[in-house]
Structure 1
Amino acid sequence: MSETVGDYLLRRLRDWGVEQVFGYPGDGINGIVAAFGKAGDQPRFIQARHEEMAAFQAVGYAKFSGEVGVCMATSGPGAIHLLNGLYDAKLDHVPVVAIVGQTARSAMGGSYQQEVDLQSLFKDVASEYLVEVNVSEQLPNALDRAIRVAQAERAPTALIIPNDLQEEPYNPPRHVFKHVPSSPPSTVHSVTTADPAEIERAAEVLNAGERVAILVGQGARRAADQVVQVAELTGAGVAKALLGKDVLPDDLPFVTGSIGLLGSRPSYELMEGCDTLLIVGSNFPYSQFLPSFGKARGVQIDIDGKFIGMRYPTEVNLVGDAASTLDALIPLLERKSDRSWRERVERGVRRWWEVMEREAMVPADPINPMRITWELSARIPDNAIVTADSGSAANWYARTLRMRGNMRGSLSGTLATMGPGVPYAIGAKFAHPDRPAIALVGDGAMQMNGLAELITLKRYYPRFSDPRCVICVLHNNDLNQVTWELRAMGGAPKFEESQVLPDISYADFARSLGLGGVTVTDPERMGAAWDEALAADRPVLLDVHCDPNIPPIPPHATFEQIKSAAESVLKGDPDAWNLLTKGVRTKVQEFLPGRG
């Protein structure tokens, strides 16, 4: 039997080292599905419950493996469903390749069933590379370029293959006019170092500073050792953008934690007090959380010139790989003898973690959500991978979960979409089947799609050498983040018709699938529940009943601001008294005397 286009597609993916494709079948990709059937599970077809989840799984795989994630969907509605996950990849700069079917070429333009203008549909989300393959000779170059561009641009790309072409015999490109060949698959990691003269200028700025602050993002992940060296030489504190939370562990005394609305007070004070700012691999967009313009001199390092010098008026902009550029910068830096700034930063960090512990122990009805991540921090394995969904779960992940060892963590940073927490964790398990994964998910996201993806997790967990995957549901029957946004930004009380969720037992659902399920309603049981889940021989769902009225108060909020907000938004709120008392109890922890 001759090799079909579908057969060749899978062979080329194997050549690229692609071990799994996250997808959902449909007749628009029948020729490719048939090829999977002949390929002996190489690459593996990982069947999600929905194409959007397949895209999220590919994003999670790519984020935690550093390799290209591949997702697949049929024509029409299947292709449409991929979009949210692909936009997540685009906005967080993640390499993902989408392969989608299309109606037969003979039917195109005929308003045929499930015919959608896929070129128009994907032209924004896959703007770096989007192509429809219409003859088999086109395929090698098109697929290879889709993968190479995804790698080089850290972006999603898309390949459209009509379903009739998938079943045709494959003919390679020839050495003739208008045929385009391709080269053997190879991964190229380019290492670029910024201009030496500009690096000298950057050193002059950093050496002149008396109070240096460093902000790192996900682009600094491969330069963690160099960032630590720069911080030691300059006496700097290091704040972390949300996507860079796992760049440095939180047990380093000068690491101030996350920055921004979900960030820490030490990070806020670091930016308020510094006179020099070094930004490494971050596109953190909220300039109000950076030093006031004109107050600090700035240096930025980023591998992509498109995103440099656009968040703060930096006077030296270094376009290059973070690690190699810092390697060139470090010999030019002078060790600061005055360590008073560093000591001030470290005092603030020690104080912050004391405050976080006290806030986590504030009584709640029934469980303070901060206690969930606080208790996890004391128990989480050093090699764990943590995903967080959007919503209030992201607050507690950002603020109270302490990274250590070689832990990894991520969420939907820029799109901030609901729903990726569980599929990210599944993708992470395919990236690292020997490491435990933990997803922190609100009950809104769990009802949106997480429950269905438990079925996917049940199906595939026997393939993982370490079967541990803990899905922790923050069960408060409230779309909590939006409720707080209504109160704090909209000046409106909670509208129960839009915000209250149906009450179900998530643990019972997990147990019905044959997974572990633990219901937690007693705060004193929280630590033991984490111990049980992390010792299990299968994935476990922790159904934690937590209080929706513990406020995610930003670190810079003052009592006067809280009082003003309370007066303006709590009129008519069904939980007004609870909100007021718990908000005061939480905020007051910052002003109690510390242990240090």
Structure 2
Amino acid sequence: MFKKTAGEKLIDLLIEWGVDHIYGMPGDSINSIIEPLRKKQDKIKFIQVRHEEAGALAAAAYAKLTGKLGVCMAIAGPGAIHLLNGLYDAKLDKVPVLAITGQIESDLIGTDFFQEVNLERMFDDVAVYNQRIMSAEQLPAVVNQAIRTAYTKKGVAVLTVPDDIPRFEVEAEARITSSLVVKQEILPSTENLQQAKEVLENAESPVILAGKGVHGVRETLLAFAEHIAAPIVLTLPGKGAIPDEHPYCLGGLGLIGTKAAYEAMQETDTLIMIGTSYPFTGFLPKKAKTIHIDIDPAQIGKRYPVDVGLAGEAGKTLEWLSQHVSRNDNRTFLERSQERMQKWWDRLNRQEDDESVPIKPQRVIHALRQVAHDDAVLSVDVGNVTVWVARHFRMTNQQFIISSWLATLGCGLPGAIAGKIAYPKKQVFAICGDGGFAMTMADFVTAVKYDLPIIVIVLNNHKIAMIKFEQEVMGNIEFGTDLFNPNFADYANICGGVGYRVEKPEELLPALQKAVQQNKPCIIDVIVDAQEAPMPAKITFAQAAGYSKHMFKELFEEGKLDLPGS
């Protein structure tokens, strides 16, 4: 009877789990895995990336978009080290990812051999499951346990595979387990639900803060909001859970948020947090009864004091509350919030209509809205670009992904690659700053190689602009933020894609319209105003004072300030 090698068994198990592609780069310590992977390319594709970090970021983005396991692979030593940034992104945003790394041969471990790194120790903090394969017989059970743990704990599983193990045959006595994960429905305790009911019965000005946990329960959330007359504020990972221009939506909160959301938080008497562990507690109410709904009991009360905790699924919990809590017919607070939100939209419209040169970044996002389909995928990088997209792209049914908790530059392009692999028939955009795009731009050729017609929009201001603004708000003169950029449109053409350079407002929409008609990866290099600061909706005295201090410093150093007697 034909026996499979451990490498062959590994690939078969991945296929059994529904994995249809792996991001990675081949090399000596994983060649015994690459060979059986090559033989199964009809069932599981190998996506060769140019940097392992991009592969791990793409795997994390794939998991965010689909809920399925993202898989990446790297050699021992440097390749495995390169995975860490993307794996931490997956860890902090709580999505299932499997990392398979090579290792030197078993009998060489501990001898300080070439490229030997203690990978189990290195991955210990990032992983919910972290195991070195010790034998061919052990491999099947460990692979199943790794993937099952990644799914159930919504985190990173790491398998370190010494180079010799994949070549050994899996003997008949190998432990056999199941390649499945079981789902469950979770409802909070009756006692806690009754406590929440009492709080909501007395609420006069309730506000909902909705996060990542409300994706997929749009109608249930909106029905609950209508029932208790509560406007909805969205965290950044929650963006897109409901349409941005829905009458109940007040947009985001914090530095990327809206004035209507800020004022609602200042006035509310009851805060209902749903599926979020919002970290910026300075923007939350100082005095309000608080109900926190989360599927993970450990998140409830973790960052902000709560009166009632409801440990359960958002959809099931909201259905119960809508059925048992009396309808709130007092719409005064809701209507006041809606009026404020309309004023906010009017303000954004004026910013988007600005025709000045250099182009205002707000205008770029407005133009993007005009060409993006209702089901488009938006992979957004970190920096000022996050602010512009969060505020100015008015989501309907699009998908929005970002490096939320790690906030790592360079996530935009790998996310778009993963988006096009996940949804080949949908429009996929990467919206990046020049700093973020430059970090992973080598993998634009990956999109070309695998015929992935993504559209990369680069907001090019030759600055690490958010850091410039942060330095100025601290009262400092900007330093170390200038960037020397190539022509990104020319770069696209050199790589085999299509590039458009946009320097005037009237060139913007035509470039986007041409790009979405292309069947090749595109880069739209837009020269935007470096002086356009991402001002928060509500400016604090400290921020204003710091900015003024920065202006005085600049004037002093440049000799432009005339002092008495000078």
Query: Residues 17 and 562 (structure 1 numbering): CA distance in 2 closer, same or farther, change over 3 Å?
Result: closer
Q: Could you tell me which amino acid in structure 1 is paired with residue 177 of structure 2?
A: S
The aligned counterpart of 1:535 is 517
The aligned counterpart of 2:546 is 565
Q: Could you tell me which amino acid in structure 2 is paired with residue 68 of structure 1?
A: L
Query: Residues 528 and 5 (structure 1 numbering): CA distance in 2 closer, same or farther, change over 3 Å?
Result: same
Map of 1:89-108 to 2, 5 A cutoff? 89-108=90-109
Query: Residues 369 and 40 (structure 1 numbering): CA distance in 2 closer, same or farther, change over 3 Å?
Result: closer
Q: Could you tell me which amino acid in structure 2 is paired with residue 168 of structure 1?
A: F
Q: Could you tell me which amino acid in structure 1 is paired with residue 456 of structure 2?
A: I
Map of 1:434-449 to 2, 5 A cutoff? 434-449=425-440
| Offset, 1:198 | 1.2
| Offset, 1:563 | 4.8
Which secondary structure does the structure 2 equivalent of 1:261 belong to?
helix
| Offset, 1:223 | 1.9
1:494 aligned residue (463, 468, 478): 478
Deviations 1:2-41 (CA, angstroms, capped at 9, x unpaired) = 4211111000100011000111111110100111122234
CA distance in 1, matches of 2:489, 2:42: 32
Deviations 1:126-185 (CA, angstroms, capped at 9, x unpaired) = 1x21111111111111111111111111111101110111111122544xxxxx5412x2
CA distance in 2, matches of 1:456, 1:570: 44
Q: Could you tell me which amino acid in structure 1 is paired with residue 505 of structure 2?
A: P
2:449 aligned residue (435, 438, 459): 459
Which stretch shows the higher mean deviation, 282-291 or 534-543? 534-543
Which secondary structure does the structure 2 equivalent of 1:137 belong to?
coil
Does residue 247 of structure 2 align to residue 266 of structure 1? no
The aligned counterpart of 2:562 is none
- Whether the aligned pair in 2 keeps the contact of 1:280 and 1:322 (CA below 8 Å) is yes
- Whether the aligned pair in 1 keeps the contact of 2:197 and 2:324 (CA below 8 Å) is yes
CA distance in 2, matches of 1:460, 1:350: 44
The aligned counterpart of 1:320 is 312
Deviations 1:273-315 (CA, angstroms, capped at 9, x unpaired) = 11101111011101111111xx210111101111111222111
The aligned counterpart of 1:217 is 211
Unaligned runs of 5+ in 2: 559-566
- Whether the aligned pair in 1 keeps the contact of 2:471 and 2:478 (CA below 8 Å) is yes
Which secondary structure does the structure 2 equivalent of 1:461 belong to?
coil
The aligned counterpart of 1:278 is 272
Does residue 185 of structure 2 align to residue 191 of structure 1? yes
- Whether the aligned pair in 1 keeps the contact of 2:410 and 2:438 (CA below 8 Å) is no
The aligned counterpart of 1:170 is 170
Deviations 1:34-56 (CA, angstroms, capped at 9, x unpaired) = 11122234311111111110000
The aligned counterpart of 1:587 is none
Does residue 372 of structure 2 align to residue 380 of structure 1? yes
Q: Could you tell me which amino acid in structure 2 is paired with residue 428 of structure 1?
A: G
CA distance in 2, matches of 1:23, 1:213: 44
- Whether the aligned pair in 2 keeps the contact of 1:103 and 1:163 (CA below 8 Å) is yes
The aligned counterpart of 2:138 is 138
What's the RMSD between the two structures over aligned residues? 1.8
| Offset, 1:572 | 4.7
- What is the identity percentage for the equivalent residue pairs of Structure 1 and Structure 2? 36
The aligned counterpart of 1:230 is 224
Q: Normalised by the size of structure 2, how large is the TM-score?
A: 0.95
Q: Could you tell me which amino acid in structure 2 is paired with residue 107 of structure 1?
A: L
The aligned counterpart of 2:27 is 26
| Offset, 1:220 | 1.1
| Offset, 1:435 | 1.1
Which stretch shows the higher mean deviation, 225-234 or 194-203? 194-203
| Offset, 1:554 | 0.7
Q: Could you tell me which amino acid in structure 1 is paired with residue 449 of structure 2?
A: R
CA distance in 2, matches of 1:260, 1:96: 30
Which stretch shows the higher mean deviation, 196-205 or 109-118? 196-205
| Offset, 1:561 | 5.7
Which secondary structure does the structure 2 equivalent of 1:222 belong to?
coil
Does residue 507 of structure 2 align to residue 513 of structure 1? no
Which stretch shows the higher mean deviation, 338-347 or 38-47? 38-47
CA distance in 1, matches of 2:348, 2:172: 61
- Whether the aligned pair in 2 keeps the contact of 1:138 and 1:173 (CA below 8 Å) is no
| Offset, 1:575 | 13
Map of 1:89-488 to 2, 5 A cutoff? 89-126=90-127, 128-174=128-174, 180-183=175-178, 185-292=179-286, 295-362=287-354, 364-404=356-396, 406-449=397-440, 451-461=441-451, 467=453, 469-488=454-473
Unaligned runs of 5+ in 1: 175-179, 578-596
Q: Could you tell me which amino acid in structure 1 is paired with residue 315 of structure 2?
A: A
Query: Residues 96 and 137 (structure 1 numbering): CA distance in 2 closer, same or farther, change over 3 Å?
Result: same
- Whether the aligned pair in 2 keeps the contact of 1:266 and 1:345 (CA below 8 Å) is yes
How many residue pairs are counted as aligned between the two chains?
557
Deviations 1:494-535 (CA, angstroms, capped at 9, x unpaired) = 12xx21111311011101222121111111222232222223
The aligned counterpart of 1:590 is none
- Whether the aligned pair in 2 keeps the contact of 1:123 and 1:130 (CA below 8 Å) is yes
Does residue 56 of structure 2 align to residue 75 of structure 1? no
CA distance in 2, matches of 1:113, 1:124: 24
Q: Normalised by the size of structure 1, how large is the TM-score?
A: 0.91
Query: Residues 445 and 342 (structure 1 numbering): CA distance in 2 closer, same or farther, change over 3 Å?
Result: same
Which secondary structure does the structure 1 equivalent of 2:524 belong to?
strand
Q: Could you tell me which amino acid in structure 1 is paired with residue 506 of structure 2?
A: E
The aligned counterpart of 1:177 is none
CA distance in 2, matches of 1:166, 1:571: 65
- Whether the aligned pair in 2 keeps the contact of 1:494 and 1:573 (CA below 8 Å) is no
Which stretch shows the higher mean deviation, 356-365 or 45-54? 356-365
CA distance in 2, matches of 1:213, 1:337: 15
CA distance in 2, matches of 1:173, 1:542: 57
- Whether the aligned pair in 2 keeps the contact of 1:239 and 1:259 (CA below 8 Å) is yes
Which secondary structure does the structure 1 equivalent of 2:408 belong to?
coil
